[in-house]
Chains A and B, each alone.
Chain A
């Protein structure tokens, strides 16, 4: 009997070892990935958590794409490496955000983004040619601006000449393939200043600049993929603080109503959430140029939280008893939101026609971000645009975290495969970290 058992077991073990797996067959299609370069702004540079730091840069979208293109014959992908885990030092720069604890003006301790303690990287040229030409802060037309390195420390780190235009960095690399995601800052810089500290690039100028950049990229026959501009008003920086985040008790509402009545301001407050007061220069009121915020208007994450919580910003200053509106630079009004959306739409029409004109692939990041606004599931992870817990944005509320970058990289890969009949495998997004909780 023992003998029979032994014979059967050995048959079974032998049979169980036989397994066939389909392997993914990588194919470069009709593209040549030998020398891959990337252009863009902070989103492509690996900037995250309010800084360009070592690990964030390692997980930059182009670096993730490059890892996959290397399976299809692409060479080394060089980035202007930051060695500090905290960021790059230049006037006004700060270290990266991490999740930590801080106490507010009311003495309440809560978890949120705090600056990490650590040494920033001194600003110095890296001294080698780089494949990732993405520059934090860059707008479309900055690529054609001679001597831009004098104005942007991130470009200064890898500029081959202080008088160069960024597009002049392309030719020495002799690229065969590129990805470009540029133009967000043409509207985002305006949005980040609440519509008061910057201007939206005119669509005509945008078209001219992007046309110039794409000409420089394709002049020697390189192929590539262009990503369009997502609606920046959908990112956590603008959506985390609600327009009606002023929460009052009944007695607070009663006293505010009395004050507003006294000032002859026609605003009525109730128990619960109420709209913040915002500066309104067009107000006809002789003394107080204020109004209540409307649904659809956005409060920026840069608004001073202690002023909101303890100094009456958005309602009444307890020291003067005067209405205390949120200053314009912390708010996007309906008019400003409208201008941002109109410009974004115009840019995306231009990018689509340029992609056709230059025969390039196109990634519709705008449509993708809209999907994330509603929330999507991916490999069992619930992902959306919520700050901290949404899973894709980093702690600055503007840039993607590594997992968000891996998702964007997969969208680029899809667009490459669609355009060039290639088979480049997607990356496993669960292998990329999200926000780290303390």
Chain B
């Protein structure tokens, strides 16, 4: 469970115009439960919200903002349920396979640059979907203190079929913009995860670890809207995003002060998959450098409370979303406190 408080600002190119990304409040969470029927077999269920984006732009005058024809507000949430079976052949090697069930919802508003008595036309899209994928992993303990894991999670095609598309336009334009159903493709990219950790010290009180996560972002090459009822003004639109694959690098260390308390510290770098000429306000993606710290308390056997705090370095990036010729500088700064509970029987 984490709370994200995010802020981003937009400064238009060559202008004194500014807007703020208001109330971005993501709630990524992670739940994991495992059961060991035998010594070698274990069954687990992970519930995870790996991707989520909820943002609403507003300009500093409090009016409809400059990028409203690209996006006004957008909420995209995906939750994955991953039942996994793992088997340990021996003390050195084990494998795990599972399948992934993902659900997603999308809800967005944008303006249409055709004006009537009440100003711009608008479009509201709301829909949900679900689909399956799989994961597979291998865990190796080559020698005392070391553990290495490799895990792959497949791409999941999230096709929102028949989302509700509601247009609000001047009466003379309604026949061109009929209320509609729309298919939206929102692929969740595949991940390849490689992690390694090493425990050392007299009490094994130290642990250091690294994690490399390769995200196959290039699967997200455009955001496609395919309207069911087609008119000269409404049809199939593909908004190119042309994401590039990226590697997320994480490093961390943990120190157990005693049996009751452990502290940890870490850092990560999550490079943006977005090219400079495709930087857009739908996902104002910046290279993220984050620092984390946290501690765990074990008040009684089997139970722990984990608290963490993530601070993202303020980042700044200038770019243009060239298909729409929308140019400016984005700035972000996030802090993500987290709280976890775990109990083992």
> Which residues of A approach B to under 8 Å, CB–CB?
1, 4-5, 8-9, 11-13, 15-16, 18-24, 26, 71, 99, 111, 376-382, 389, 391, 414, 425-428, 430-431, 433-438
B173 contacts A by Cβ under 8 Å: yes
Bound-state Cα–Cα, A167 to B171, Å: 48
Residue pair A380, B70 in contact (C-beta under 8 Å): yes
**B interface residues with partner A (beta carbon < 8 Å):** 3, 5-7, 9, 11-12, 14-18, 63-64, 66-70, 113-117, 169-173, 305, 307, 309, 311, 314, 316, 323-326, 329, 331, 333-337, 339
Given contacts A12-B337, A19-B9, is CB(A378)–CB(B305) below 8 Å? no
Q: Which of B18, B114, B307, B326 contacts A437 (CB 8 A)?
A: B114
Contacts of B7 in A (CB 8 A): 16, 19
Residues of chain A contacted by B314 (CB below 8 angstroms): 18-20
Give the Cβ gap from B269 to chain A, nearest Cβ, in Å: 19
- The answer to whether B333 touches A436, judged by C-beta atoms less than 8 angstroms apart, is no
Given A4-B339, A16-B5, A430-B69: A22 and B329 within 8 A (CB)? yes
Docked complex Cα distance between A71 and B15 (Å):
12
Q: CB < 8 Å: which of A9, A24, A379, A391 contacts B325?
A: A379
Given known contacts A379-B326, A381-B113, A26 and B16 CB-to-CB distance under 8 angstroms: yes
CA distance A26 to B69 in the complex (A): 27
The CA of A71 and the CA of B17, in the complex, are separated in Å by 13
Closest Cβ of chain B: how far from A129's Cβ, in Å? 30
A428 touches B15 (CB 8 A): yes
**B113: chain A residues within 8 A (beta carbon):** 380-382, 391, 430, 434
Residues from chain B with a CB closer than 8 A to the CB of A426 are 12, 14-15
- Taking a contact as CB atoms under 8 Å apart, the answer to whether B16 and A71 are in contact is yes
Residue of A nearest to B326 (CB): A379
Q: What is the minimal beta-carbon distance from A193 to any residue of chain B, in angstroms?
A: 33
Other A-B pairs beyond A380-B68, A435-B115, A437-B114, 19, CB < 8 Å:
A4-B307, A12-B5, A13-B5, A16-B6, A16-B333, A18-B333, A19-B314, A19-B331, A20-B314, A20-B333, A22-B11, A22-B316, A99-B172, A379-B67, A426-B15, A430-B113, A434-B114, A437-B115, A437-B172
Find A428's partner among B17, B323, B331 (CB 8 Å cutoff). Answer: B17
A380 to B314, CA, bound (A): 27
Contact B69 A381 (CB under 8 A): yes
Candidate in B172, B323, B334 with the most chain A CB atoms within 10 angstroms:
B172
Is the CB–CB distance between B337 and A428 below 8 Å? no
Within 8 Å by CB of A8, from B16, B307, B316, lies: B307
On chain A, the residues within 8 Å of B6 by CB distance are 16
Q: Is the interface of B mostly helix, strand, loop or mixed?
A: strand
Closest to A433 in B: B115
Inter-chain CA distance A24–B311, complex, in Å, is 28
A380 in complex: contacting residue of B9, B324, B334, CB < 8 Å = B324
User: Quick one: given A21-B9, A376-B325, A438-B171, are A9 and B16 in contact (CB under 8 Å)?
Assistant: no
Quote the shortest CB–CB distance from A365 to chain B (angstroms).
19
Task: Provide 28 A-B residue pairs closer than 8 Å at the C-beta atoms, listed in order of the A residue.
Answer: A8-B309, A8-B337, A8-B339, A9-B3, A12-B3, A12-B335, A15-B311, A15-B335, A16-B5, A16-B333, A19-B9, A19-B314, A20-B314, A22-B11, A22-B316, A22-B329, A23-B11, A23-B16, A379-B69, A382-B113, A425-B14, A431-B63, A431-B66, A434-B115, A436-B115, A437-B115, A437-B170, A438-B116
Expressed in whole angstroms, the Cα–Cα distance for A24 and B170 within the complex equals 36
Q: How far is the CA of A382 from the CA of B3 in the complex (A)?
A: 39
State the CA gap A11–B114 with chains docked (Å). 45
Interface pair A380/B17, CB less than 8 Å apart: no
Instruction: Report the Cα distance A4→B339, complex, angstroms.
Output: 9
B326 to chain A: which residues have CB within 8 Å? 379-380
By beta carbon, the residue of chain A nearest B11 is A22
Q: Which residues of B contact A435 (CB under 8 A)?
A: 115
| Inter-subunit contact A24/B16 (CB<8 Å) | yes
Contacts of A13 in B (CB 8 A): 5
